[in-house]
Structure 1
Amino acid sequence: MNDHRSNRTTVMVSIVLAMLVASMDTTIANTTMPIIVKEIGGSDLFAWAFTSYMVLSTVLAPLAGRLSDLFGRKKIYAAGILLFLGGSVLCGLSQSMLQLILFRAIQGIGAGVMMPFPAIIAGDIYPVEQRGKVQAFFTAMWGLAAVLAPLLGTFFVTYLSWRWIFFVNIPICLVSLLALKPYKEVYQAKKSVVDYGGAVLFALGISLLLLTTTVEQYNYIYGALGAICMVIFFFYEKRHSAPIVPLNLLRNRPVAIMIAVSFISCAALFGTSSFIPLYLQNQGYSLFVSGIALLGTSIGWMVVAVPSGKWVLKYGYKPLLIIGNGLLVITAIMLYFMGEKTAFWYSFATMTMLGLAFGLIFTVSTIGSQQLVEANQKGISTSLQLFARNIGTAVSVTIMGAILTKATVFYTGFHGMFVFGFIVSLVSMFIPFMIQSTPSKQAA
């Protein structure tokens, strides 16, 4: 028993460290990119350094989950850490913007492979009633990353070099790999033929569709080509004996509804965290203080995530998802009433409410995606939840950004974003009513 607990603690160290570096990497690069451009040039291309990372990390998550079902968690997760580590070294050595874009893509592949594993592995080694606490701990890491990233970025640029925003990942990734070494695989992989054709079609189709949210030029062409690839992918997967994304998973009604809720709730308001710092800085607050406001999200998230596992056993999935989305609607209303003279405490309270909403929605959906499928589909089911959230977030940031930039007055655009968020969050609240029954014994 002690060996089992020690093993569990060791793997937790590994996955938490990997999550920390992957979640910090986007924010820390955002804060230092002007300095990077000044040194290596390529200002006309710098947006692609974000795009290449975001697109590939989003696309690879569900594929990594499926590969872990086929070959085991440890091998695929370790491969993701190594790719991220290699990409980080190369990014730090970049001599031009083109090189940085290419190496950020490698980093993005590694991050995409790593990101589903905290939830997947936790689902393998922890019972349901403890998973809420584990999810809360993961959330704390996201909150820590949100605060640490700009501080570290500023420190490295001021006292060392921007290259250290990438080199700092090296020791963390090495410790993560060493902590993974003694881990004994809990899940017994069910080997099968690898659907390479489906993987390529899926990656290409989603990448092209995501490009429509990050680039302005030729986005209609990207969208059309992406849609064509996804239609071909759908029919290809229906005929494949071992599809990379099992479409029969979507016939599991509660799981399909949870995936839909994850996507729509994120499309409604998850992009908020990208705009609240801008709102606060517009009021005269510093970058650090605006980061503190985002901590409210982490606090709210942890408050509900810790007991969520026990709540699922007691109440089932449906009522908890309805309550979570109800909190999201309240958050949209609170956001709408933020104006030019709103006190900081109100902004913090609003972000805390956002954390309560998403903490409940995400934790319950993650548990459901693991408990309501067969063991050999747990990886793909969990990673599809993450994928739905990432796509929903991309949609949210794109639409909110468009509403804000088209407005002639900042606060008009700001309020317009949350009219959109309120309407979409109402849709998300009613979707869980379609779950016919998820008795607590199903969650055991």
Structure 2
Amino acid sequence: MRNRTTVMVSIVLAMLVASMDTTIANTTMPIIVDDIGGNSLYAWVFTSYMVLSTVLAPLAGRISDLFGRKRIFATGIVLFLGGSVLCGLSHSMLQLIIFRAIQGIGAGVMMPFPSIIAGDIYPVEQRGKVQAFFTGMWGLSAILAPTLGTFFVTYLSWRWIFFVNIPICLISLLALLPYKEVYQPKKAVIDYWGALLFACGISSLLLTTVVHSYTFIYEAIGVILLIIFFLYEKGHAAPIVPLNLMRNRPVALMIGGSFLSCAALFGTSSFIPLFLQNQGHSLFVSGIALLSTSIGWMVVAVPSGKWVLRFGYKPLLIAGHSLLVVTAVLLFFIREGTSFGYIFGALTMLGLSFGLLFTVSTIGAQQLVEAHQKGISTSLQLFARNIGTAVSVTVMGAIVTQSDIFYEGIHKMFVYGLLASIIAFAVPFAIRAGKKEQLSE
């Protein structure tokens, strides 16, 4: 297809900066605090970015269904670019938090589009390869981010961790310009109130993962707002989140499965580096261990598109969840002194599992809905994974920090992962297998 290469350059670069930004900030925040102060607000630099990027992803997908992919994606790049410039110019922690929020808005708008646009321009049998390539970018960002962060703070300034986004975003925008959009948007009235209720409700619930007092207030506000959102959306002619999508049994179950699988073990990547460093391994070796997940992911993601056409969704999702349980069992046996090779193998298995689950469910989210719902369906998959990841990191973090002995906390953390992965394993069995030709329309 004409312009396919330039579009891929655009969406891959956007994905690279969005995925790299969180990690590179993590490695340099102590330096930033030393320069501009505000240690008491430290956590909010991450929270403002995480909450807004998570909440806005499904809304961006829905809006793109109504107004087209290109203009919404470009808006996200511009917002991320502007937020990056402002972050680099910050002179106080409060400024940095506000500007990180702008960055988070841009990232939330950008993140769904690699999968959405790839679903528009590539046939189903090629999407596995594309998803594998996207995974490779995530793996590359995991290695580049700490390396670049260290280089910038050593030889230039911490401000360059944000300024480096400027040329990448500009190239992404230029590569997007010649793109002739394939999808024809369906015009409709924007559901502003629905978007506001959804954003505020989810934001309140997400804040419970970072605040340490009065969490019940945030929980209550979030639940009440989401109930109001549900009742409001039922009567809206063009809802921002079409509730009839949840009546699509396979899609709803794939969204639920994505949430549960991420809630089970996706937080592992946040704690394995800490485990390895406690074992005496370097930061670089810890990064190499995480690279194993990307390797496993790409191995199964490449042929997944063809496997969907051959076997259908249900058997592949069962296989993916089976691998997740096997991974959980391997992680369950990690103890003090566990070798690097064992951990590398367990994380490779984790990559095989998530590579199969995420690729198949992403293809399903696009193939099992009408064209005008493809954006919101794909975005809800991403949203479910993000929420599941937030739950996983929060629960695992609480288990580790509340344990008097570090290695005992790690073991308890993986007991949780094993139990949660077994629960997730039940989900794909509820999918009713359909005709393969229907699955590949």
Match of 2:392 in 1: 396
Look up the equivalent residue of 2:362 and give its one-letter code.
Answer: T
Match of 2:289 in 1: 293
SS in structure 2 at match of 1:45: helix
Measured in 2, the distance between the counterparts of 1:98 and 1:218 equals 22
1:47 aligns with 2:46: no
1:168 aligns with 2:138: no
1:313 aligns with 2:281: no
Match of 1:243 in 2: 239
Cα drift, residue 443 of structure 1: 2.7
Look up the equivalent residue of 2:129 and give its one-letter code.
Answer: K
Aligned length: 440
Counterpart of 1:436 (choices 417, 432, 435) is 432
1:114 aligns with 2:118: no
- 8 Å CA contact 1:318, 1:438 repeated in 2: no
Match of 1:65 in 2: 61
Structure 1 unmatched runs, 5+:
none
Match of 2:29 in 1: 33
Look up the equivalent residue of 1:422 and give its one-letter code.
Answer: L
What pairs with 1:55-134 in structure 2 (closer than 5 Å)?
A: 55-134=51-130
Measured in 2, the distance between the counterparts of 1:95 and 1:147 equals 28
Match of 1:349 in 2: 345
Cα drift, residue 119 of structure 1: 0.2
Measured in 1, the distance between the counterparts of 2:6 and 2:436 equals 31
Q: Deviations over 1:46-87 (max 9, x none)?
A: 110000000000000000000000000000000000000000
Q: Deviations over 1:236-259 (max 9, x none)?
A: 000111000000000000000000
Measured in 1, the distance between the counterparts of 2:261 and 2:434 equals 20
1:16 aligns with 2:12: yes
Match of 1:324 in 2: 320
> What percent identity do the matched residue pairs reach?
77
What pairs with 1:234-273 in structure 2 (closer than 5 Å)?
A: 234-273=230-269
Return the TM-score normalized by structure 2.
0.99
RMSD of aligned Cα (Å): 0.6
- 8 Å CA contact 1:322, 1:433 repeated in 2: yes
Cα drift, residue 220 of structure 1: 1.4
Measured in 2, the distance between the counterparts of 1:104 and 1:216 equals 21
Q: Deviations over 1:168-217 (max 9, x none)?
A: 00000000000000000000000100000000000000000000011212
Measured in 1, the distance between the counterparts of 2:418 and 2:276 equals 21
Look up the equivalent residue of 1:80 and give its one-letter code.
Answer: G
Look up the equivalent residue of 1:191 and give its one-letter code.
Answer: K
Measured in 1, the distance between the counterparts of 2:133 and 2:82 equals 27
Measured in 1, the distance between the counterparts of 2:219 and 2:159 equals 35
Measured in 1, the distance between the counterparts of 2:355 and 2:435 equals 21
Return the TM-score normalized by structure 1.
0.98
Cα drift, residue 107 of structure 1: 0.0
1:196 aligns with 2:192: yes
Measured in 2, the distance between the counterparts of 1:166 and 1:178 equals 20
Q: Deviations over 1:410-434 (max 9, x none)?
A: 1111011111111111111111000
Structure 1 window deviating more from structure 2 (252-261 vs 411-420): it is 411-420
Cα drift, residue 439 of structure 1: 2.7
SS in structure 1 at match of 2:57: helix
Look up the equivalent residue of 2:179 and give its one-letter code.
Answer: Y
SS in structure 2 at match of 1:188: coil
Cα drift, residue 438 of structure 1: 3.1
Structure 2 unmatched runs, 5+:
none
Cα drift, residue 288 of structure 1: 0.9
Measured in 2, the distance between the counterparts of 1:218 and 1:174 equals 43
SS in structure 2 at match of 1:214: coil
Look up the equivalent residue of 1:185 and give its one-letter code.
Answer: E
Q: Deviations over 1:125-151 (max 9, x none)?
A: 000000000000000000000011000
- 8 Å CA contact 1:315, 1:439 repeated in 2: no
What pairs with 1:353-368 in structure 2 (closer than 5 Å)?
A: 353-368=349-364
Look up the equivalent residue of 1:56 and give its one-letter code.
Answer: L
SS in structure 2 at match of 1:190: coil
Q: Deviations over 1:296-349 (max 9, x none)?
A: 000000000000000000000001001100000011111111111111111111
Look up the equivalent residue of 2:332 and give its one-letter code.
Answer: Y
Measured in 2, the distance between the counterparts of 1:197 and 1:374 equals 24
Q: Deviations over 1:9-66 (max 9, x none)?
A: 1000000000000000000000000000000000000110000000000000000000
User: What stretches of structure 1 move > 3 A for 4+ residues in a row?
Assistant: none
SS in structure 2 at match of 1:213: coil
Look up the equivalent residue of 1:111 and give its one-letter code.
Answer: A
Look up the equivalent residue of 1:107 and give its one-letter code.
Answer: Q
Measured in 2, the distance between the counterparts of 1:402 and 1:36 equals 26
1:422 aligns with 2:418: yes
Match of 1:146 in 2: 142
